[in-house]
């Protein structure tokens, strides 16, 4: 690669996390991103991917043709940084509270239908409301990748569970039962967008890798 970075393939990852660790005791740190929480198939529960988040933001301006056109142009001109451009456009015209609301809507897309609590307004974003939703483990839909990663971490906490790095703003890995102290929230939710979608594995690939590691 022209920038000097080399990304190993799936087979190298499996070898490193299975046979290599059997020969040498070494703590493993997982870094997981958005594809782990994304829907496996269109229309299923999961945190929307880059294009899905951009669509949520665009819906904020759907009643204003001029703003919608301006939004589309800003996203188009941004190229690979279209996610950042979408949020910048939103913040400039609606402010940070609306940006936070978009994030909450995205995370709630991983909730099971009918899992809301009577009398609780999750759109308010209050600490109590968010804690209630986080603690309702049965109300979340976990992707196969999240489930298998959680099984791996909880089954071998000394080797895999001491540190989990995530750029995600959802609690899905933690919902599985990974201790909160294991997490290092390495980026603020807006900087999460710095990843390039094409550089990360698809959700199905993430699930496949995690499952094969667990079975090794």
- Whether 24 is in a domain gets the answer yes
What is the per-residue pLDDT for 136?
79
Closest C-alpha to 29, from 158, 171, 142, 206: 158
What is the per-residue pLDDT for 23?
81
- Whether 41 is in a domain gets the answer yes
What is the per-residue pLDDT for 178?
58
- Whether 210 is in a domain gets the answer yes
What is the per-residue pLDDT for 6?
84
Please state the rounded mean pLDDT for residues 191-211.
Answer: 39
- Whether 151 is in a domain gets the answer yes
Please state the rounded mean pLDDT for residues 99-123.
Answer: 79
> pTM score > 0.85 for this model?
no
Average pLDDT over the chain reads 76
> Domain total for the chain?
1
- Whether 95 is in a domain gets the answer no
- Whether 146 is in a domain gets the answer yes
| DSSP assignment of 69-112 | HHHHHHHHHHGGGHHHHHHHHHHHHH-HHHHHHHHHHHHHTTBP
- Whether 159 is in a domain gets the answer yes
pLDDT at 183 over 80: no
What is the per-residue pLDDT for 189?
34
| The pair of three-digit structure tokens given for residue 89, joined into one six-digit string | 């456009």
Read off the pLDDT of residues 35-52 as tens digits, 9 standing for 90 and up.
888 888 888 888 898 899
C-alpha distance from residue 59 to each of 55, 86, 87, 110, 145 (Å): 6, 11, 13, 19, 29
Read off the pLDDT of residues 118-168 as tens digits, 9 standing for 90 and up.
566 666 667 777 777 777 778 888 888 888 888 888 888 888 877 777 777
Distance of alpha carbon 152 from alpha carbon 154, whole angstroms:
6
Spatial neighbors of 108 by CB under 8 A, at least 6 apart, are 122, 133
The b/e string for 24-58 (b: 16+ C-beta within 10 A; e otherwise) is eeeebebebbbbbbbbbeeeebbbbbbebbbebbb
Q: What range defines the domain where residue 189 resides?
A: 1-46+141-216
- Whether 42 is in a domain gets the answer yes
């Amino acid at each position: 690669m022209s920038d000097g970075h080399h990304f190993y393939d799936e087979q190298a990852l499996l070898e490193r996390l299975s046979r290599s660790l059997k020969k040498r005791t070494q703590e493993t740190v997982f870094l997981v991103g958005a594809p782990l929480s994304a829907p496996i198939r269109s229309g299923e529960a999961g945190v929307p991917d880059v294009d899905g988040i951009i669509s949520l933001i665009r819906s904020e301006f759907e009643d204003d043709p001029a703003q919608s056109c301006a939004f589309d142009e800003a996203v188009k001109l941004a190229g690979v940084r279209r996610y950042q451009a979408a949020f910048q456009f939103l913040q400039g015209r609606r402010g940070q509270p609306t940006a936070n609301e978009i994030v909450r809507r995205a995370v709630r897309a991983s909730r099971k239908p009918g899992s809301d609590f009577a009398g609780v307004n999750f759109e308010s974003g209050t600490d109590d409301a968010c804690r209630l939703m986080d603690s309702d483990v049965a109300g979340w839909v976990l992707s196969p990748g999240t489930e298998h990663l959680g099984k791996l971490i909880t089954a071998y906490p000394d080797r895999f569970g001491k540190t989990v790095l995530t750029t995600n703003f959802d609690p899905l890995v933690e919902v599985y039962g990974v201790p909160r102290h294991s997490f290092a929230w390495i980026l603020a939710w807006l900087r999460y967008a710095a990843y390039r979608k094409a550089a990360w594995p698809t959700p199905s690939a993430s699930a496949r890798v995690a499952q094969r590691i667990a079975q090794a």
